[in-house]
Amino acid sequence: MAEPATGMPFSGRTAIVTGGGSGIGQAIATLFGLRGARVGILDLAPADETVEAITEGGGTATYVACDVSRQSEVAHAFAEVRERHGPLDILVNSAGVAHVGTVEQTTEADFDRVYAVNVKGVYNCLKLGVAGMKERGGVIVNIASVASTIGIPDRFAYSMSKGAVLTMTLSIARDFIHQKIRCNCISPARVHTPFVDGFLARNYPGREAEVFDQLARTQPIGRMGKPSEIAELALFLCSDAASFITGSNYPIDGGFLTLKM
């Protein structure tokens, strides 16, 4: 595979990364910024740390507060990024929320919340992203999950939402291939993010290390992924090195889907 992480493959390009304030989104936004992109970071929470990491490395970044579940806010945020950094070239939909529970344990409020962010939020950004790209082409990467394609216990609402992300990816790739818009998705298994640490602290106080090790070992490779590893794959898929790739789903899962015993 080509090495797009060297040099400045995104020089002169404008990228929007949702959920760029922490976790996977933060790693993607930072890497893109350090590789030349002018990055618009959309998140509900302030993304000062991400902006600082990019600007200290000589890059350009802007934070725009945005609830991706509200189309009016997304439209305003995309317009602000365009005004500051120019027309959109790259969109990464990374914003998302998690939920643990079977269908019996999932309340209507739980379901609506997951749907609003993980499904409607991606739809809102795709709608604005395609509108900004169709005259000149562009690249979209959606963050899905291994839960898109395999049954995972106690993840009813989350799996529903990530299955939708996968199929939306395929639709965008098909509908806009002649407008030179490429669209792919990445499906991580467990990745060590602040969400994982918070989940363990809330649900397993005093047993965090023990349960972390159990979760890590569910990947055959023996550990969780790193946000930086997801970012490197996103960088490749959004680069010219991947110009022949569209409508594809890329598991990055330590062997979870294919080597699970």
Q: Which residues are catalytic?
A: 158
Strands (DSSP E) contained in 105-180 are 138-143
95 vs 127: CA distance, rounded Å: 15
From the list 14, 12, 73, the residue with the least C-alpha distance to 42 is: 73
Among 204, 207, 196, 142, CA closest to 170: 142
State the DSSP code for 191: B
Q: SS3 helix, strand, coil % of the chain, rounded to 5?
A: 50, 15, 35
Q: Residues 32, 20: contact at Cβ < 8 Å?
A: no
- Alpha-carbon distance of 170 to 56, in angstroms, equals 37
- The secondary structure element, H or E, covering residue 42 is strand 38-43
Main-chain dihedrals φ then ψ at residue 167, nearest 5 degrees: -75, -30
